[in-house]
C-alpha cells in the first residue's frame, strides 16, 4: 500500500505542522482573504455588498473549477500550461457542433445537450492525450502542455478564420440561463463550482485514487515500489483536469456566446496561481481543495478591488497575479 499521508514530509525546522508557525502558515490563505476583504471594504463601500460578492463568486467559477483539476495535477507532481487554450478550442468546437446540429436536430434542448457532451468529451480526450504523452511518451509535462498550448489556440484561430465563432442567436437565448440564471438567489455557476469543489475534496481525501495522487507527488519511486499503477493514476489525473476545463467551458459559452483567439487567455496563470496561493506545494505531494478554493476567491477579490479602486490599473492585474505567484513560491521554498 502507498503511504497514506504523503503530505507529511519532514517540515523545515520551526515550521512543523504542530507549531504556531506551522498553523499560521496553513491558515495563510484564509488570513490573506480576510485582510483583503477588510481592505476592499475600507477602500470602496460597494465592495461589501451581496451583489458584488455574488459577482466575484460567479467570475471565480471558471478559474475555480479548472483550479480544482489543476490541484490534482500539481499534487501529483505535474503541471498543465494549456488549460486556457484548451478551453478556447473546446468552446469553438462546441459552438461549431451546436450550430451544425441545429440544422439536423429539431429540438434546441437536444442541440444544447449535444454541445455539452462534446465539451466534456473533448476535455477528457485532451487530458487523455496529455497523460499518454507524459507517461508512455516519457515527455516532461511542461514540454507537452507548452506544445499543446500553441496547438489548441492555433486550431481555434484556424477554425474561426482569425475572427470569432458565434453561437446561433436562438441557441444563445436558450442556453443563457446556464450562466445568467440563479437558484435560491445564487447564480448557477456558483452552485456548479461548489459541487465540483465538494466532489474534488471527496476524491482527494476519501478515495484510494486521491491517496495515490498524493503518494506519487511525494515520491514517485516509492509509490511504484508500493505497487501503485503510477502511469494509470497520472493519466486519470490529466483526464480529470480536462473534464474540469470542459465543465468551465460549459459555463463560459453562454456568457458571451462566442469564442475567439483571445478566449481563455492567461487562464492557466490564474488556475496555477489559485492552486499555489491555496497552499499546494509546487513540487507536489501536498495540497487541498479547500485551499485551492480560497486561493481562487482571493485572486478574484484582488481583481475586484483593482476594478473598484484606482490604486493600480486593471491592465496590471496579470502582473499582480504574477507577483503573488513569485511571493508564494518564495515562502514555499522550504517545503518539498
Tens of pLDDT, residues 324-335: 777 776 776 655
Q: Which percentage of the chain shows pLDDT scores above 70?
A: 89
Give pTM, 2 decimals: 0.88
174 pLDDT higher than 80? yes
Listed by start position, the domains of the chain span: 48-330
Count of CB atoms situated within 10 Å of the CB of 154 = 13
Residue 332: strand, helix, or coil: coil
Contacts of 233 (CB under 8 A, 6+ apart): 76, 209, 212, 213, 216
C-alpha cell at 132: 499518454
- Position 194 scores a pLDDT of 95
- pLDDT tens figures, 47-81: 888 989 998 999 899 899 999 999 999 999 999 99
Q: Name the pairing type of β-strands 258-259 and 165-166.
A: antiparallel
- Position 12 scores a pLDDT of 41
Contacts of 303 (CB under 8 A, 6+ apart): 59, 314, 317
Angle at alpha carbon of residue 234, lines to 230 and 239, rounded to 5°:
150
Rounded to the nearest 5°, which phi and psi values hold at 187?
Answer: -55, 145
- CA separation (Å) from 21 to 13, 24, 89, 229, 327? 10, 5, 44, 36, 18
| Fold adopted by 48-330 | ABC transporter involved in vitamin B12 uptake, BtuC (1.10.3470)
C-alpha cell at 334: 522550504
259: enclosing H helix or E strand:
strand 258-259
Report which of 225, 226, 244, 224 is spatially closest to residue 234, judged by C-alpha positions: 224
Q: What is the crossing angle of helices 83-101 and 230-256, to 10°?
A: 60
- CA separation (Å) from 143 to 18, 82, 128, 277? 38, 10, 16, 24
Count of CB atoms situated within 10 Å of the CB of 31 = 12
Amino acid at each position: 500500500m502507498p503511504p497514506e499521508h504523503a503530505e507529511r514530509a519532514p517540515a523545515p525546522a520551526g515550521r512543523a505542522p504542530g507549531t504556531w508557525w506551522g498553523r499560521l502558515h496553513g491558515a495563510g490563505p484564509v488570513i490573506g482573504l480576510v485582510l483583503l476583504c477588510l481592505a476592499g471594504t475600507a477602500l470602496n463601500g460597494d465592495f461589501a455588498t451581496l451583489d458584488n460578492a455574488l459577482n466575484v463568486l460567479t467570475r471565480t467559477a471558471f478559474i475555480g473549477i479548472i483550479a480544482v483539476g489543476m490541484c490534482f495535477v500539481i499534487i501529483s507532481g505535474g503541471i498543465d500550461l494549456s488549460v486556457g487554450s484548451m478551453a478556447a478550442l473546446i468552446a469553438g468546437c462546441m459552438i461549431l457542433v451546436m450550430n451544425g446540429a441545429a440544422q439536423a436536430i429539431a429540438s434546441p434542448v437536444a442541440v444544447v445537450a449535444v454541445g455539452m457532451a462534446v465539451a466534456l468529451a473533448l476535455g477528457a480526450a485532451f487530458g487523455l492525450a496529455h497523460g499518454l504523452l507524459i507517461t508512455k511518451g516519457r515527455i516532461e509535462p511542461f514540454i507537452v502542455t507548452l506544445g499543446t498550448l500553441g496547438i489548441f489556440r492555433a486550431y481555434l484561430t484556424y477554425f474561426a478564420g482569425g475572427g470569432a465563432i458565434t453561437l446561433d442567436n436562438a441557441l444563445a437565448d436558450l442556453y443563457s440561463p446556464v450562466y445568467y440564471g440563479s437558484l435560491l438567489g445564487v447564480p448557477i455557476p456558483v452552485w456548479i463550482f461548489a459541487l465540483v469543489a465538494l466532489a474534488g475534496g471527496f476524491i482527494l481525501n476519501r478515495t484510494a485514487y486521491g491517496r495515490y495522487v498524493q503518494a506519487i507527488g511525494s515520491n514517485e519511486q516509492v509509490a511504484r515500489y508500493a505497487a501503485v499503477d503510477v502511469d494509470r493514476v497520472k493519466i486519470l489525473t490529466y483526464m480529470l483536469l480536462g473534464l474540469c476545463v470542459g465543465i468551465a467551458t460549459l459555463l463560459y459559452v453562454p456568457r458571451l456566446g462566442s469564442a475567439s483567439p483571445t478566449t481563455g487567455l492567461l487562464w492557466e496563470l490564474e488556475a496555477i496561481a489559485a492552486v499555489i496561493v491555496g497552499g499546494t506545494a509546487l513540487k507536489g505531494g501536498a495540497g487541498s481543495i479547500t485551499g485551492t478554493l480560497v486561493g481562487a476567491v482571493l485572486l478574484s477579490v484582488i481583481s475586484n478591488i483593482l476594478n473598484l479602486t484606482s490604486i493600480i490599473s486593471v491592465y496590471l492585474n496579470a502582473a499582480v497575479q504574477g507577483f503573488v505567484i513569485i511571493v508564494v513560491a518564495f515562502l514555499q521554498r522550504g517545503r518539498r
